[in-house]
Structure 1
Amino acid sequence: MNAIEKRIDSLYHYIADSTAQPDLDQFWEQTLRLNDGGVPYRREELQTPMQTEVSKLIFEAHDGTPIHGWYLLPPQPIRKPCPCIVIYHGYHGSKGAPEDFAHWLLMGFAVYAIDVRGQGGETGNLAPQSFGMTSGWLTQGILDKHECYYKHITLDALRAIRVAAEQPEIDEERMFVMGTSQGGGLALITAALSTQVRGAVANVPNMCHMDFGILNSTSSLQEAAKFVTIFPDKLEQVMQTLSYFDIINLADRITVPVLCSVGLKDLICMPEAIFAAYNRLHSKDKTMEVYPFMGHALGNGQNRKAYEFMKRLL
């Protein structure tokens, strides 16, 4: 066994300790009630250079924040009640431009790509906070699981699935979630908490083994590390709050098929963190695509592998 094989083998055997709090299930049962009832939304068809239907689909979050997204349909000749991919972007990013998703339309999928609140898109953030924060978004509400930024973006991600499934062109039995980095973490947490997800594609996902990440990675968790540097007496509170949103503590809820990817040179979403979550998944159909010489990036050919994964499930 060469050094690369040995490294990969050790990651498949890496088991992280659970950091779940005793009231984890109670917290999520209570939190998910915030998404009960109907979700107000509006859909506005747009004129674009694309030769297919493009709409702005904006829904109201649990706290009243309008969440903006692109709703894109495949060309008419291949349109049926079609499968849909709900796409979440990476940290500091946005929903991008409609043409960024043209390849999925040509493969026969509808796409709903949303902004993550407060970041680089059109979407603001109306969530209240009762304590200060460091630069970025991660530390908003980080001392209280009920105020935590991760809580709000998770509820937004779950609402996006519901809104997409309500569109008349969509086959609600064929809903997929997908994302990279922060978006990969959101894909996994929605797969854990939603009954509408058929499969999840999580590329170099964040939100995994966050106690390891805050100590070792160069990810957004550096913001939490900076917060604790300023307020060292808050370390225990910070770690407890993050634990409610850590995929390693929710992985036993993920039973749908999952496709993950990891770069062994990734210093942002580190291999140990990703494998810690992956190895705990309860899905009987799970695949990890390992890229030994890549860092925090989408591996060559990963979109095709994602398409083949989803097509197989259809």
Structure 2
Amino acid sequence: MDRNYEEFKNYPKPEEVDKWVESIWKMANSIICNVEVLSDNGFSFSLGIRHVKNEFSYVKFMPEGMDEFYGYWQPVMSGPAPLLVHTPGYSAEISTHPELVSLGYNVLHISPLGYATPNGPDETKKRDNTWPVLADTISSHGEKGYKQWLVNCILAIKWAVEQTEVIENRISFFGTSQGGGCSMLLGSIFKDKGVRCVAADEPFLTNLPMIKSLGSITYNYEPLSSVDNIEGGWRALGFVDTISHVKRLNCPVLLTAGGNDILFPAEAIKTFSELLPGTFSYNYFDHLEHRCSREFITLLSSWVRMYA
């Protein structure tokens, strides 16, 4: 991989990334989080999956000192079984995955920071017509934004592993776009803490300097213009760039990239795959645009059956 992009000079060193991950765990372990399993599962009389009506449910997480946020709990009918954690794209959707539950996995979708709710997106949390998680990461030098996003994930996962249906030390992560990038961050964070595998579909937060050089998603770099120290802003991005976590990923990693993906070009994802130290699968689909695809879901099903 070409590390000659000027922005890489501002990225944190590996030991600083390790300390940042430790600080995330310290924050998560210091927070008391009350949890309420809601009776509503989102299915209606006109559209729904009847055989899981009483099992699937929204979960409301209420961490002290932080905004409440939601998850969607999809347990197996007969456990205990491994846990698959799905994280959302930047559009902040909530997803259900009955196809994975039918394969014998518990699935927890997490929607951090309260951006998405059972009643739809919470538009009051937007700034400048977008979700501010990336901007907050930059302006706080990595102490807010995605750090809080990841803390929310840990709190939700801690609840999930306490459920009787879940095998404690068999946790895997998957997602598309932001969800793909953050799945790899969670794979790093849960290193030696039960992570089994990661599946990242067209992942955001991967080789950000290269993506910028290719002219992609330029609006994501606008927050850099509002900070006094642009080098400090790139340092903050370095903490959440999956490139900084690649050596911490000691589990099998599935990657997909699309030839028609103009948001997160395949070139950047391929450079990441070339750095992975262990088992990985890089899958390029010439026709794919930036979206969750049938191809990814098919690969994901096989990946978790091999490694989760």
Q: Give the aligned partner of residue 304 of structure 2.
A: 310
Identity rate, percent: 19
Residue of structure 2 aligned with 1:196, choices 180, 194, 197: 194
Q: Give the aligned partner of residue 213 of structure 1.
A: 211
Structure 1 residue 301 corresponds to structure 2 residue 301? no
Asked if 1 retains the 8 angstrom alpha-carbon contact of 2:88 and 2:176, the reply is yes
Match of 1:296, SS state, is: coil
Match of 1:198, SS state, is: strand
Give, in angstroms, the shift of residue 292 of structure 1. 1.7
Read off the aligned partner of 1:253 and give its amino acid letter.
R
Q: Hey, what's the Cα distance between the residues in 2 that align with 1:71 and 1:281?
A: 31
Residue of structure 2 aligned with 1:33, choices 2, 7, 26: 26
Q: Give the aligned partner of residue 69 of structure 2.
A: 67
Q: CA RMSD in A?
A: 2.7
CA 1:293/1:190 → structure 2, altered by over 3 Å: closer, same or farther?
same
CA 1:146/1:57 → structure 2, altered by over 3 Å: closer, same or farther?
same
Give, in angstroms, the shift of residue 112 of structure 1. 0.7
CA 1:125/1:310 → structure 2, altered by over 3 Å: closer, same or farther?
same
Return the TM-score normalized by structure 1: 0.81
CA deviation vs aligned residue, 1:91-142 (integer Å, no higher than 9, x gap): 113214xxx4221222222211121325344586999xxxxx7542121252
Residue of structure 1 aligned with 2:12, choices 15, 21, 30: 21
Q: Hey, what's the Cα distance between the residues in 1 that align with 2:135 and 2:287?
A: 32
CA deviation vs aligned residue, 1:147-168 (integer Å, no higher than 9, x gap): 4312111222233322221111
Q: Hey, what's the Cα distance between the residues in 1 that align with 2:284 and 2:136?
A: 33
Match of 1:244, SS state, is: helix
Residue of structure 2 aligned with 1:278, choices 273, 277, 280: 273
- Aligned positions of 1:51-130 closer than 5 A: 51-52=51-52, 53-61=55-63, 63-74=65-76, 76=77, 79-96=78-95, 100-121=96-117
Match of 2:98, SS state, is: helix
Q: Hey, what's the Cα distance between the residues in 2 that align with 1:93 and 1:40?
A: 22
CA 1:141/1:189 → structure 2, altered by over 3 Å: closer, same or farther?
closer
Give, in angstroms, the shift of residue 302 of structure 1. 2.2
Range 183-192 or range 40-49, more displaced: 40-49
Match of 2:112, SS state, is: coil
Q: Hey, what's the Cα distance between the residues in 2 that align with 1:73 and 1:27?
A: 32
Asked if 2 retains the 8 angstrom alpha-carbon contact of 1:62 and 1:155, the reply is no
Q: Which runs of 5+ in 1 are unaligned?
A: 1-13, 128-132
Q: Give the aligned partner of residue 154 of structure 2.
A: 158
Q: Hey, what's the Cα distance between the residues in 1 that align with 2:290 and 2:154?
A: 25
Give, in angstroms, the shift of residue 305 of structure 1. 1.5
Asked if 2 retains the 8 angstrom alpha-carbon contact of 1:143 and 1:234, the reply is no
CA 1:115/1:215 → structure 2, altered by over 3 Å: closer, same or farther?
same
Asked if 2 retains the 8 angstrom alpha-carbon contact of 1:217 and 1:269, the reply is no
Asked if 2 retains the 8 angstrom alpha-carbon contact of 1:84 and 1:175, the reply is yes
Match of 1:113, SS state, is: strand
Q: Which runs of 5+ in 2 are unaligned?
A: none
CA deviation vs aligned residue, 1:202-250 (integer Å, no higher than 9, x gap): 100011111222343543xx33432344x48542222111111111011
Q: How many residues end up aligned between the 2 structures?
A: 286
Range 116-125 or range 182-191, more displaced: 116-125
Read off the aligned partner of 1:36 and give its amino acid letter.
N
Read off the aligned partner of 2:155 and give its amino acid letter.
R
Asked if 1 retains the 8 angstrom alpha-carbon contact of 2:199 and 2:254, the reply is yes
Asked if 2 retains the 8 angstrom alpha-carbon contact of 1:54 and 1:72, the reply is yes
Q: Give the aligned partner of residue 264 of structure 2.
A: 269
Q: Hey, what's the Cα distance between the residues in 2 that align with 1:235 and 1:260?
A: 30
Match of 1:139, SS state, is: helix
Range 39-48 or range 79-88, more displaced: 39-48
CA deviation vs aligned residue, 1:161-197 (integer Å, no higher than 9, x gap): 2222111111123221110000001100000011232
Q: Hey, what's the Cα distance between the residues in 1 that align with 2:214 and 2:227?
A: 17
